[in-house]
Amino acid sequence: MKWAGHASGGYWDFCDFPLQGAGEEEIANYPVPDPGDFDYDAAAAAALAGGGDTAVYIGGPGYPDIINSNGRIMGMEDILCHLIDEDEAALTLIDRRVDMQLAVLERLLERCKGRIDFLWVGEDLGTQRGPMVSLDLFRRVLRPPHQRFIDLAKAYGLPIQIHTCGSSSWAYEDFIEMGMTGVDTLQPEAAGMAPRYLKDTFGGRLTFRGCISTAGPLASGTPGDTVRQVRETLDIMMPGGGYHFAPTHQIQDHTPVENVLAMYQAAHTYGVY
């Protein structure tokens, strides 16, 4: 990665893709971590250290995150082409990485029994304007490995939440059919992601986390604008429950501190019955 600086800070961005343009043999031999290489005792200690009012999850938006995570190895153009073509070498690497992740999660679940509250996975499926891949491709190539993570969560009696940036509600009926519990991020400015549409269409069948845009009033408005967006979102999402108040993504470093404070204060003020 390289550091990309800007006026208010910066971020690490990917710049080197070791399997970009690689052949079948190079892809087939690319190393994947061994589940035995991880420190499960340290993980268990961290899980047990939290108080009873702390929710503990395993996984995260990077599990399995097939498009992004493999795009960071192959480059985004290559991974999308490999998925469309159902390239055997690329799909085998994807399966090897999924096998490793599932083995790690299962060891964590066994090591931390009784302390894990939910499993978190991710797959960015949309741009701001529409799907990144077709529903047919999702069902053929992406849905089967994601089903394995859902099945693991269900085997341990845990809810499971998926992080999906951009316009992704087109996949939510499939998520429901697969047994997904909730969806995360929910960028309200993206196509098909307005809070009212999500609540009316999927409320009671999926839980929601997010909806407070990090690119809207929070970043560029006033504290008053921020409070109005929070109130409008809560008015839509709160009835019947099933909503976890949160910004859509990491709050960006150019966001005014007074807006961040206004957002959370509004949640405390208006987020109760």
The two three-digit tokens of residue 266, written as one number: 């509004």
Q: Distance (Å, rounded) from C-alpha 175 to C-alpha 170? A: 10
The two three-digit tokens of residue 230, written as one number: 């929070």
- Give residues with Cβ within 8 angstroms of 4, minimum separation 6: 10, 11, 12, 13
The two three-digit tokens of residue 120, written as one number: 């978190």
The three-class DSSP label of residue 4 is strand
Q: Distance (Å, rounded) from C-alpha 184 to C-alpha 163? A: 4
Report the chain (273 residues): mean pLDDT per 10 consecutive residues: 90 93 94 96 87 86 96 96 96 97 97 93 96 97 98 98 97 98 96 98 97 96 98 96 95 94 97 85
- Give residues with Cβ within 8 angstroms of 245, minimum separation 6: 212, 234, 267, 271
Residue 173 has a pLDDT of 98
Contact 209, 187 (CB under 8 A): no
Residue 47 has a pLDDT of 87
Contact 181, 161 (CB under 8 A): yes
**Which residues is 122 bridged to in the sheet?**
64, 163
Q: Identify the CA nearest to 116 among candidates 156, 62, 60.
A: 156
Residue 114 has a pLDDT of 87
Helix axes 257-270, 223-237, angle to 10 degrees: 30
Helix, strand, coil shares of the chain, percent, nearest 5, are 50, 15, 35
Q: Distance (Å, rounded) from C-alpha 240 to C-alpha 238? A: 6
Beta strand segments in 138-254, E: 160-164, 182-185, 207-212, 243-247
Residue 51 has a pLDDT of 65
Integer CA distances (angstroms), 185 to 74, 161, 163, 270, in order? 25, 10, 6, 21
Integer CA distances (angstroms), 267 to 215, 223, 233, 249, 254, in order? 18, 13, 10, 17, 21
The three-class DSSP label of residue 198 is helix
Residue 7 has a pLDDT of 86
Contact 50, 43 (CB under 8 A): no
Q: Which amino acid is at 130?
A: G
Domains of the chain: 53-185 (3.20.20.210)
Residue 113 has a pLDDT of 87
Residue 48 has a pLDDT of 82
